Amino acid sequence: MRRGILSDIDKLSALSKRANQTPFDAIFDALERRCALILETRPITETQWQAIWERGRWSAAALAARATQGRIMDLAISHHIDPNRAYRDRAVEELTNLCTWSTWVDPCHNQMAADICTAEAALAAVVGLDWLWDDIEPSKRDAMIHVISDKALKPYLQAVEDQVWWHGCYHHWNVVVNAGMAITAMALEDEDPQAAQVEKIARAGLKHFFDAFGADGSWDEGTGYWGLTIRYLLLLAEADKNLRDDMSIYHARGIDATGLFPIYFTPNGHAASFGDMQTEPLHGTVYLLAREFDLKEVAWWLDEYSLGWDATTNGWSAAGLAMLFRPDNMETLAPPKLDTVKIFPQTGWGAIADQWPKPGMYVAVKTGDMAVNHAKSNMNAIQLQCRGEMIISEFPRTPQREQFRTHPQNRFYELTAREHNTICVAERDHQIDAQGRILESKNAKNYRWVLCDSGGACGQGVQFLRHVVMIVDPKTSEGHTVIVLDELTSGSPEKFEQCWHTPGQVNLDPNGEKATITGVRGELYLALASTVKTAVTLKSASIDSHSDERILHVSGGAIGKVLITSIFSTNPINSDIAIAGNEEGVTIDFDDTKAIFTNTAMHLELTEVRNNRT
């Protein structure tokens, strides 16, 4: 078997020189705590994940393969840094157990010959064999290599012959399976004559990803799936570098920029993403982007947030691969060089912050293509973080939240656009063929402004533009107010609905024009106004077994142009909101603040914000 896939043994042993240096001392401490915890738990077996699957857990085998991979890598790395027979023996045991599984296909994908589980398990096996080679008897090594061929390479070829869908898609399934199998094939090319064909087919499949990946490095599946995708891509890039002396993946379009994407959508270390997997992708593998492109911002982000979690026995290697891949002598920037208004045109996402690296007020916005993988009815949706707390949020779909969709008394979420912080019209979900985009953005001394276009998401004959304005103190750069101005134009009378979702407690005034949202870290004040009569109601739904969400539901009728204003402020809003419009433009006036929008040929443009505080 070809050795040194991700690192050779000498390099792993040399990591001991880092263990007492900052920040590697903290990373190594996290690694040791995780490995010690692994020893206190049972090894992963097929019996375990089969029992979990029978109890209804989706992806039980894939998650078990992922956890096995993480355990093997971290135990082996820790052992080579500071020799520990218990860590070594446990890593060998986890690898041996993996090779006894009857299948490396998850039962929820049993119609496929190979799936994500196959790639996770195969990578675990070849890297485990590589790093534990001298600790495994030759006959057992040969048997393990045969298992990898039988449970990974052969099923992969069969799946492609069966024209499995993941080989030709662009999203995370493509990269995880094809990259994982390309690494496996490279490792076994001297042992298995099928390996060369597997590698060739896998790389051909990866072309679909590279064709879709944009120059700005953003990813329309969101931060969690970005992490899953980029992790496997970077592991393949490193294997190519070590086994092929090939740097082509690192030179591919968008790879040099992609490391900044998750930073902009994890303000203060909390995901402000859109999609199914709203997690912080703080993987040790991502340090490779800092190393290859001198991205000090990435090193800062990982150093700052990746070590704050409790040790766990599940999941991928984080601290172990961080020890391996974090560049030496890279001093992180304080503060990192990040834009307070950052637009990603490829996906139609944007991030607005009052300041970095610790924004006191932050807004994420989303437009883009409604036909992408894991797309939701959330065109022009936003999320708002205040004082480090996500206060206007996207919530994951859970069994408890699903009941709010199907309960016969309301069936509120039958219209899935109501699940998001956006607008829907005529009780229709957002159109799957809609192509939204961010039209304009501006970063001024006392405000930030982004203009989003829903691209026909609300249906034929309806235009939905959303202005997001953050007002900041020019002296301190502290944000205190966010104005959301929605321009809704409809050629026929239609009902519109606007929703705001929060985990906080909500006190809604009787007239429905103002509310106070109380979070863990303070209060956020909300004022609502429109150029047409609206009704405002407060709803509640369970997120999971121990937490709820509150929904402010605004509804009204639209014909022609309607303006709907929502103002979020860290200070009480005392006056009513005045919306004044004429041929020149629109003015939003409240308390000591005035936002002035000027008419252009296509849309309103923010030209000035006046505020006594600024």
Give the pLDDT confidence of 216-225 residue by residue, as tens digits: 999 999 999 9
Average pLDDT over residues 295-299: 95
pLDDT at 400 exceeding the cut of 80: no
Cα(182)–Cα(177) distance, rounded to whole angstroms? Answer: 8
What residue ranges of the chain are covered by domains with CATH 1.50.10.100? Answer: 12-325
What residue ranges of the chain are covered by domains with CATH 2.70.98.70? Answer: 341-611
Q: How far is CA 591 from CA 57, 536, 595, 598, in A?
A: 52, 22, 11, 21
Question: How much is the pLDDT for 124?
Answer: 98
Mean pLDDT of the chain: 94
Cα(189)–Cα(243) distance, rounded to whole angstroms? Answer: 11
Cα(551)–Cα(540) distance, rounded to whole angstroms? Answer: 6
CA atoms within 13 A on the CB side of 119: 29
Which of these CATH numbers, 3.40.50.150, 2.70.98.70, 2.60.40.420, 1.10.3720.10, describes 341-611?
A: 2.70.98.70
Q: How far is CA 31 from CA 38, 79, 305, 306, 317, in A?
A: 11, 11, 15, 12, 9
Question: How much is the pLDDT for 612?
Answer: 72
Question: How much is the pLDDT for 521?
Answer: 94
State percent of the chain over pLDDT 90: 88
- Length of the chain counted residue by residue: 614
Cα(529)–Cα(527) distance, rounded to whole angstroms? Answer: 7
User: Domain 12-325, CATH 1.50.10.100 — does that match?
Assistant: yes
Q: Which of 213, 215, 185, 219 is nearest to 200 (CA)?
A: 185
Query: Among positive and negative, which fits the CA dihedral 526, 602, 489, 429?
Result: negative
Question: How much is the pLDDT for 406?
Answer: 53
Cα(130)–Cα(133) distance, rounded to whole angstroms? Answer: 5
Backbone angles phi, psi at 493, to 5 degrees: -65, 125
pLDDT at 435 exceeding the cut of 70: yes
Lowest mean pLDDT among 178-182, 192-196, 286-290, 414-418: 414-418
Q: Which of 325, 259, 559 is nearest to 426 (CA)?
A: 559
pLDDT band at 277 (very low <50, low <70, confident <90, very high): confident
pLDDT at 376 exceeding the cut of 90: no
pTM as predicted = 0.95
Give the pLDDT confidence of 533-563 residue by residue, as tens digits: 999 999 988 877 778 899 999 999 988 899 9
Give the pLDDT confidence of 126-149 residue by residue, as tens digits: 999 999 999 999 999 999 999 999
Average pLDDT over residues 282-294: 97
State percent of the chain over pLDDT 70: 97
Question: How much is the pLDDT for 415?
Answer: 82
Cα(487)–Cα(410) distance, rounded to whole angstroms? Answer: 28
Give the pLDDT confidence of 72-115 residue by residue, as tens digits: 999 999 999 999 999 999 999 999 999 999 999 999 999 999 99
Q: Which of 73, 71, 69 is nearest to 38 (CA)?
A: 71
Q: Which residues, other chains included, contact 63 with Cβ-Cβ below 8 Å and sequence gap of 6+?
A: 49, 57, 314
